[in-house]
Chain A
Amino acid sequence: MPVMTLQIGAEPEIRLPVRPGETIDAAFTRAGYARRRKGCRRGGCGQCLITVLHGSVTDDRPVAVTVLPPAQRAVGGALACRAVPQGDVVVRADAGSIRCVSPLQKELALRELARITTTTVQEGS
């Protein structure tokens, strides 16, 4: 299971598990995080723009080039509502654009992360 490292502004980065096929949006929403501006959640408004610093993502559905121009993609731009991590990713979001709204969900996601990390280590040993 891929791990997403999320950097929100200058906050300490957080690592969250991404289930197969989950978008970045779906993964952090499941972990109790919410975007300040939820936007259309269908790739039409560009409000969920984030930067993928490491790793790669693919869009689960087509995204209009007017919303995410190739030049923006080339520098790591991606729409969180459409981008599905292909393996581990490091993702950067603007300060205050995403925040934790459900601490218990975050706790559960972190437990899931601990489980998969342990499994990976055992498989590796």
Chain B
Amino acid sequence: MSVMRLGYVHVRVTDLDDASRHYEKTLGLQAMGQQGPCRYFKGWDEFDHHSVVIEEGGVGLVKLGMKVSSSDDLARFEANLARFGVTTERMAAGESHKVGEGLRVFLPTGQTLELYTDMEYVGNELGTFNPHAVIRDPRGLTVPRLDHMLIAGEDPALTERMFTECLDFHVSERLITDIESNDLVATWLFAGQTSHDIALIKGEQGKLHHFAFWLEDWQSILRAGDVFAYDDTPVDYGPTRHGITRGTTVYFFDPAGNRNEVFTGSYRCYADTPTITWTMDTFPRALSALQREVNESFLTVFT
């Protein structure tokens, strides 16, 4: 697998201090400094310099980054993307703070994806020599790492093809309108072994639905809800379990209105794991296996 993971998500926020409080105190990310209008954060179990970037002014997605194992893979991806007809440009080391050289990909759904092989290594908070198992003092949700994201666009099927044909992704689950017309509504794609590193949903071009952080277990998901009450973090829905991915979840909003999620459970994926298909008539159960209803904001709020 040559795309290793979703490396970073870069979003706009209306107020840097409010957003910093959310990502640092509520989620428990480690603050990694400021550069110009941007502040950088990482989870306690992440080794690279950052996984979340917030930029002052507005709301919504600036770009996302995925880390690739080697420059040979990057060159192969570049050729694949050119053949596919997707616009790309080379990016120099340092164009994105602490990120090495790479390839900027303009997704058919309107977002900017940066593929890179290097980001400054800072290490996780346990070290790699006779480490402890957890960090000593929890902070907020103590999220260990970024997990996945969901983005919207007019043609998710085309972007899905781009990810599978050019970047070696596989599809874990697909939501289609109905068997007869088989139009793609949403798709869950993985390059690693989780159920999704990125998901795509039909909607307005270039939009962000959410980005998600991993938590250890269901108990931590419940505790997340408790922390949101303390911090007056608006909850979109949950804690509950998804039918799609089988993951347990809470969705909530950052202080600018960007949607976040904490997520766990789900299942392991391999290249030969068969794709699950859902039809839109079962969407309430696909979204929320327990309540089996679609809450009013899940499909209507994007930033």
Q: What is the interface of chain A, defined by CB distance below 8 A to chain B? A: 36-45, 47, 61-67
Output the nearest chain B residue to A61 by Cβ-Cβ distance: B15
Which of the residues A37, A45, A65 comes within 8 Å of B257, measured between beta carbons? Answer: A45
The reply to whether B59 and A67 contact each other, CB–CB distance below 8 Å, is yes
Residues of B within 8 A of A38 (CB): 234, 296-297
A-B contact pairs, 27 of them (CB 8 A): A37-B297, A38-B297, A40-B253, A40-B259, A40-B297, A41-B234, A41-B257, A42-B253, A42-B255, A43-B14, A43-B59, A43-B257, A44-B59, A44-B253, A44-B258, A45-B301, A45-B302, A47-B297, A61-B14, A61-B255, A62-B14, A64-B57, A64-B58, A64-B256, A66-B58, A66-B59, A66-B60
Annotate B21-56 by CB proximity to A: 1 below 8 A, 0 otherwise: 000000000000000000000000000000000000
Indicate if B300 sits at the interface (CB-CB under 8 A). yes
Specify the chain B residue showing the minimal Cβ separation from A45.
B301
Residues of B within 8 A of A65 (CB): 58
- Residues from chain A with Cβ under 8 Å of B302 in the complex: 45
Query: Are A43 and B256 interface neighbours, CB within 8 A?
Result: yes
Q: Provide the bound-state CA to CA distance between A63 and B301, in Å.
A: 16
- Collect the chain A residues with CB atoms within 8 Å of residue B60's CB: 44, 64, 66
Which residue of the partner chain B has the closest CB to A65?
B58
Chain B residues close to A by CB (< 8 Å): 12, 14-15, 18, 57-60, 234, 236, 253-259, 296-297, 300-303
| Residues of chain A lying within 8 A (CB to CB) of residue B297 | 37-40, 45, 47
Contacts between chains A and B (CB distance < 8 A), count: 70
B300 touches A47 (CB 8 A): yes
A44's nearest neighbour on chain B, judged by CB, is B257
Given the interface pairs A64-B58, A66-B60, the reply to whether A42 lies near B254 with Cβ below 8 Å is yes
Q: Which residues of A contact B255 (CB under 8 A)?
A: 42, 61
- Chain B residues near A63: list those with CB within 8 A: 14
Enumerate chain B residues within 8 angstroms of A42, measured Cβ to Cβ: 234, 253-257
Q: Name B234's closest neighbour in chain A (CB-CB).
A: A41
Inter-chain CA distance A45–B15, complex, in Å, is: 16
Interchain CA distance A59-B95 in the complex, whole Å: 35
A36 close to B257 (CB less than 8 A): no
A62 near B301 with CB under 8 A, answer: no
**Cβ-defined contact, A37 with B234, below 8 A:** no
Q: A43-B59, A67-B257 are in contact. List 10 more A-B contacts (CB 8 A).
A: A38-B296, A39-B297, A39-B300, A40-B253, A40-B257, A40-B259, A44-B258, A61-B15, A61-B18, A61-B255
Q: Is the CB of B253 within 8 A of A41?
A: yes
A67 partner residues in chain B, CB cutoff 8 A: 59, 257
Contact between chains at B18 and A44 (CB < 8 Å): no
Give the residue among A42, A64, A65, A67 with the most B Cβ atoms within 10 A: A42
Contact B303 A44 (CB under 8 A): yes
- When C-beta atoms are compared, the residue in chain A nearest to B259 turns out to be A40
Minimum CB distance partner of B296 in chain A: A37
B14 touches A39 (CB 8 A): no
Q: Is the CB of B59 within 8 A of A64?
A: yes
Minimum distance in angstroms from B211 CB to a CB of chain A: 14
Say which residue of A41, A45, A64 sits within 8 Å of B14 (CB atoms): A64
Write the nearest CB–CB distance from B227 to chain A, whole angstroms. 17
Bound together, the chains give a CA A61 to CA B59 distance in angstroms of 13
Asked whether A40 and B58 contact (CB < 8 A) given A47-B297, A61-B15, the answer is no
In angstroms, Cα B18 to Cα A43, docked, is 13
By a CB distance below 8 angstroms, the chain B residues around A37 are 296-297, 300
Q: Are B234 and A36 in contact (CB under 8 A)?
A: no
- The smallest C-beta distance from A73 to any residue of chain B, in angstroms, reads 15
Nearest CB of chain B from residue A33's CB, rounded to whole Å: 16
A41: which B residues are within 8 A, CB to CB?
Answer: 234, 253, 257
Residues of B close to A44: CB separation below 8 A = 14, 59-60, 253, 256-258, 301, 303
Chain A residue with minimal CB distance to B301? A45
